[in-house]
Amino acid sequence: MPQIKAPKGVADILPAQVRDWQRMERIIRRTLEAAGFAEIRLPIFEVTELFARSIGAETDIVSKEMYTFQDRGGRTFSLRPEGTAGAVRAYLEHRLYHGASDCRLYYLGPMFRAERPQAGRFRQFNQVGVEVFGLSEPGVDAEVIAVLMEMFTRLGLAGLRLDLNSLGCPECRPGYLRQLQCFLEAKRLLLCTDCQRRAEINPQRVFDCKQPGCQGILEDAPKSPDSLCAACRDHFRRVCDCLEQLGYAYQLNSRLVRGLDYYNRTAFEIVSLKLGAQNAIAGGGRYDGLVELLGGPSTPAFGYAIGLERLNMLLQLPSEPVQPWIYLVLLGDEAKRQGLLLLQELRKAGLSAQMGHQNKSLKKQLQHANKLEAPWVLILGEDELAAGNVILRDMRQGTQEELLQEQLIGKLKGIWTTKS
């Protein structure tokens, strides 16, 4: 029978890697919670209409990349391709807008897109999402970006660039889109097939094209910052001023549009200078109209997502093996029975412990403890049981001592406290 393997574009995260992910996630959680963000846990699938209405039915994500299915009742659902739509749905469904003037949420988990797998891009991938509801001030945009940059500093990342753009608002954006459409119509025959389609239904999407020919043509395309109304221009200037005041350098990028239709005004990306084509590790912006679009009150909002696979590629943390701190070497059936009780007592005391269940010699069990890199071993055999003792062996020093069993937990907790 042939071996079953994981689907293409879906990766296992193995135990040694999970330790790295846990450390990364701990730093992310601590940074966000110190800035007032609370965790929310969202469903992995939602009704398809939620994504079609929020992301945009004509975007590549909705039209080409979502995993959509019908349940037994004929209802249509989709695996979430991103988290903001679900966060807005939860914000409205549970009336989180009641109470404080702003609501700060974050979430971690898998997202799903049927894209062509490549380095740093998967069909199941993990993101951290951050959302702020209820605040429209430019300082909020700068503050949330600054929290993200501080998070990356705590993670030890270097070689990052912050790209900024303003996409305008419902007042000034239509005029810019008309300019862009006129420009693209004049270049239509020079564009790839996808960009010809995008030029008609969503012209800003052409900036996402990676074809060299289209990239060259778009060098002379109209730029959204040149068409901003006075209010959007002032908002963007103040965001930039706040970032400068906080000491964060940025690069203006007029071709930065993000991949989702709900963004307005501030858009940003954090790119790594150490990755290849898939170099964006975080990105987001303002989406002031999305809550209202999904049936809620008019609510300003700002958020972003971090791609954890790409982030983990950059961290290159030294791996920490999964190992017990204490390994029990048990000789004989009665020792194994008593060993189970001792194992439970050690774990209740907060100590990491493991035991061997197979009938192996002392030498073989010590060799196994060595392979596990356990720094301490407890040896319990017939002689120790008769005397009420246990042997504590320091595997690094090669020394050992005999203790009364009632002294053991206190002794080990003292060593553990010194270690910590």
Report the pLDDT value the prediction gives residue 60, as an integer from 0 to 100.
67
What pLDDT, on the 0 to 100 scale, is given for residue 134?
92
pLDDT recorded at residue 133: 95
pLDDT of res. 420:
47
- Please give the radius of gyration of the chain, using alpha carbons only, rounded to the nearest integer: 28
Name the CATH code of domain 326-419 (choices 3.20.130.10, 3.40.50.800, 3.40.30.10, 3.30.420.40): 3.40.50.800
pLDDT for position 39:
95
pLDDT tens digit sequence for 70-117: 989 899 999 999 999 999 999 999 999 876 678 999 999 999 988 776
Burial of 138-165, coded b for 16+ CB within 10 Å and e otherwise, reads: bebbbbbbbbbbebbeebebeebebbbb
Higher-scoring residue by pLDDT: 253, 205: 253
Better-scored residue on pLDDT, 63 or 366: 366
* Residue ranges per structural domain of the chain: 15-172+228-315, 326-419
Comparing 206 with 300, the larger pLDDT belongs to 300
pLDDT at 124 over 80: yes
Side chain identity, residue 386: A
Please state the rounded mean pLDDT for residues 134-153: 92
The residue-averaged pLDDT of 115-138 equals 86
What percentage of the chain has pLDDT greater than the value 90? 31
Whether residue 150 has pLDDT greater than 80: yes
pLDDT at 105: 96
Give me the phi and psi of 126, to 5 degrees please. -110, 140
CA distance 107 to 393: 44
What pLDDT, on the 0 to 100 scale, is given for residue 59?
A: 67
Average pLDDT value for residue range 180-207: 77
Each residue of 369-400: pLDDT tens digit?
A: 888 888 888 888 888 888 888 888 888 888 88
Better-scored residue on pLDDT, 35 or 262? 35
**Model confidence over 47-61: pLDDT tens digits?**
998 888 877 766 667
Residues near 277 by beta carbon (within 8 Å), at least 6 away in sequence:
118, 210
**Superfamily of 15-172+228-315 according to CATH:** Bira Bifunctional Protein; Domain 2 (3.30.930.10)
**What percentage of the chain has pLDDT greater than the value 70?**
92
What is the pLDDT, as a whole number, of residue 240?
94
The b/e string for 355-386 (b: 16+ C-beta within 10 A; e otherwise) is bbeeeeeeeebbebbeebebbbbbbbbeebbe
Count of CB atoms within 10 A of residue 190's CB? 13
The whole-number pLDDT of residue 239 equals: 93
